[in-house]
Structure 1
Amino acid sequence: MTIARPDHTSDLDTLPRMPAWVTSARAETFEDVAFLSGAALNHLHLVLGREEVPQALLRDRLALRAAETCVAFSGRSERAGELRDAVHLLRPGDLPGPAGETYLIWRRAVERPVSIKTLGRALSAFEPDRIARWLDAGKGGPVTRAALVLEAVLTEAPRAEMPALILADAALAQAFGWDHLVPLLAVGLKRADLRKQGVDLRLACHRALISSVVEAVRQASDLARRVTHLKVVAPKLRAKGAGDAVEMFLTRDAVTPSALPLPDRAARRLCDRLVDLGAVRELTGRDTFRLYGV
């Protein structure tokens, strides 16, 4: 018997979709919730292995979402657009402010392969030995490991919510054998969940991962389609340095024209051309200080 393979090459559906039963099932017991989160994570693992997924770009966009959540946890009101401005419009010598620093920390955590060195660079307020000790607290399956790391950090440092979430996602990545940290728990957990312990915290992590993984898979599929289109139109770009500029769009959530390897006027023209071709979007809606992204 020949089994038909799903077509993953369509412009409208470049990646396999999350099974409908993962998102529609109503799970009440710990076992059912854990089963659904495991299915969702397994699906994400397969998606992350697809070459058409722009890994660095996906991580950068998820880092923005995680930073937005952590900023809200701290009682601040900045949203994604303001976080982008705080980081991408920085001038030499400027400080990003508390919200911008939160975003920078998440970006540092995801941009290099996960390691104590990478985590120490992102979480510079903590000694590498302390970070390693917290990560060693994680035992068991992937979600259990992440929950134990989260609990260990918050037990010792109750106000270190963002470091705890970063290290929990690092533990999850290590458990799955992913090279880089993928922000997931910060996107799905509620602040009240961070005060839970034991089984209650593990259950909250399972529930959070179901929703955040579904969103990550949706983002991966959307970015894969957009990046495929950008690569198709790239040969039409005649400006010198256009190839290097396209590479920046393939890895960054947002780019300013001044950051591109072209003269200012040529960079602005290139961005306008890419918008006209439907390959990138202007992200701010402003006439000046614009940001562009896939």
Structure 2
Amino acid sequence: MTFTRPDHLSAFGTQSGIPSWITSTRAETLEDVAFFSGAALSHLHFVLCREEVPHALLRDRLALRAAEACVAFSGRPERTAELRDAIHLLRPGDLPGPAGETCLAWRRAVERPVSVKALARALPHVEASRIASWLDAGPGTPVTSAAMVLEAVWTEAPRADVPAFILADAALGQALGWTHVVPLLAAGLKRADLRKQGDDLRLACHRALLASAVEAVRLSAYLTRRTAHLKAVAPRLRAKGAGEAVEMFLTRDAVAPTALPLPDRAARRLCDRLVDLGAVRELTGRDTFRLYGV
């Protein structure tokens, strides 16, 4: 007897690919929520093992969601559009501002395999020894590790939400055997969850990860379809440097024409051509200072 390997990107007849029994069941106790969050994370793990998933692009898009959540927690008004502008329209010598710094920290955190050195690069205002100490505060199962890191950071630095979430996602990923930070916790938690402790915090983390894992699987499926189409139309692009430009779109949430390896006019023409082919979208709705993404 042979068995067909399930397609975790599109199986089970739901938009997200997550089994309906995970998303439709209302769980209340810590044990039940832990079971369903574990099932969702397991499903996400299989998705992240798929070669066709655009891993760098997925992490960059999730990093933007995490940055938006952190900015909202701090009481600032910037959302996705403003955060994209804050980092992609910077000129040499410009400062990104608090919201831009948050977004840059998340982008740096997901770029390289997890290590204390890489995390210190993402969090330049935090000493590497402190990062290592906080990561060591989270032994145990994946979600328990993440919750313990959150609690350890907030105990020493109550306002350090960005380092707390980045390090908690790093601890979660390490416990699950992932090589990179996959931003999940910040976008799933609520403001009232941020100062919880013990079992209350663990329950909040399980709920957050259940919601975020479902969203990450849905986003994985969407980006996989979009990048497959971009790769399919890439041979039709004749501009010199088009191949390198396509690689940038395959790994970044948003790209400004000025960042492409082409002269300005050629870069704008290439972006317009990709929009016409349905391979990328213009993200700002503006006539100038445009940004493009898959």
What TM-score, normalized to structure 1? 0.96
CA distance in 2, matches of 1:166, 1:48: 19
Cα distance in structure 2, aligned partners of 1:113 and 1:9: 24
**Which SS does the other structure have where 2:76 is aligned?**
coil
Residue of structure 2 equivalent to 1:155:
155
Q: Which residue is 1:203 aligned to?
A: 203
Q: Please give the root-mean-square deviation of Cα atoms over the aligned residues, in Å.
A: 1.5
Match of 2:28 in 1: 28
Q: Tell me the residue number matched to 2:51.
A: 51
Matched, 1:138 2:148: no
> How many equivalent pairs are there?
291
CA pair 7-150 structure 1, distance change in 2 beyond 3 A: closer
For 1:164-203, what aligned pairs fall within 5 Å after superposition? Answer: 164-203=164-203
Distance 1:39 1:191 in 2: 25
1:77-156 to 2 correspondences below 5 Å? 77-156=77-156
Q: Aligned pair in 2 of structure 1 residues 6, 165: CA closer, same or farther (>3 Å)?
A: closer
Measure the CA separation in 2 of the matches of 1:30 and 1:9.
28
8 Å contact 2:147–2:202 — kept in the other structure?
yes
- How far did residue 125 of structure 1 move? 1.3
Name the residue aligned to 2:255: 255
Deviation at 1:3, TM superposition (A): 3.5
Contact 2:71 2:77 in 1 (8 A): yes
Deviations 1:159-182 (A, max 9, x none): 111111111000001101111000
Deviates more, 1:117-126 or 1:226-235: 117-126
After superposition, give the CA deviation of every residue in 1:31-80 in whole Å (9 maximum; x if it has no partner): 11000000000000000000110000000000000000000111100010
CA distance in structure 2 between the partners assigned to 1:186 and 1:48 by the alignment = 19
| Structure 1: tracts of 5 or more residues without a match | none
5 Å matches for 1:206-285?
A: 206-285=206-285
Q: 1:2: Cα distance to partner?
A: 4.0
Which residue of 2 is the match for residue 290 of structure 1? Answer: 290
Taking a change above 3 Å as real, the CA distance of residues 89 and 198 of structure 1, as seen in their structure-2 partners, is same
CA contact (8 A) 1:109 1:118 kept: yes
| CA deviation string 1:87-118 (max 9, x = no partner) | 00000011111111110010011111111001
CA deviation after TM superposition for structure 1 residue 122, in Å: 1.1
Give the distance between the partners of 2:225 and 2:238, measured in 1 at CA. Answer: 23
**How far apart are the structure 2 equivalents of 1:210 and 1:9?**
17
The DSSP-based 3-state class of the residue aligned with 2:21 is helix
Contact preservation (8 Å) 2:9, 2:221: no
Change in 2 beyond 3 A, CA 1:49/1:97: same
Whether the 8 Å CA contact 1:8–1:16 is kept in 2: the answer is no
Deviation at 1:6, TM superposition (A): 4.8
1:68 alignment counterpart: 68
Query: Once the two structures are superposed, what CA deviation does each residue of 1:255-281 show, in whole Å capped at 9, x if it has no partner?
Result: 011100011111100000000000000
Q: Distance in 1 between matches of 2:83 and 2:7?
A: 38
Letter in 2 for 1:60: D
Check if 1:3 corresponds to 2:6: no
Query: Structure 2 regions of 5+ residues with no counterpart?
Result: none
Question: Contact 1:70–1:186 at 8 Å: present in 2 too?
Answer: yes
**CA–CA distance in structure 2, aligned partners of residues 222 and 45 of structure 1:** 17
Query: Amino acid of the residue matched to residue 194 of structure 2?
Result: L
Q: Alignment partner of 2:194: what SS?
A: helix
**TM-score (norm. length: structure 2):** 0.96
Shift of 1:7: 6.2
1:178 aligned counterpart, secondary structure: coil
Does the 8 Å CA contact 1:66/1:183 hold for their aligned counterparts?
yes
Letter in 2 for 1:156: E
User: What's the secondary structure of 2:286's corresponding residue?
Assistant: coil
1:259 & 1:75 partners in 2: Cα distance?
31
In the TM superposition, residue 4 of structure 1 has moved relative to its aligned partner by 4.4
CA contact (8 A) 2:16 2:217 kept: no
- 1:127 and 1:57 map into 2 onto residues whose CA distance is 28
Q: Contact 1:87–1:104 (CA<8 Å) still a contact in 2?
A: yes
Whole-angstrom distance in 1 between the partners of 2:280 and 2:143? 36
Residues 133, 283 of structure 1: alpha-carbon distance in 2 compared, 3 angstrom cutoff: same
Matches of 2:230 and 2:126, distance apart in 1: 40
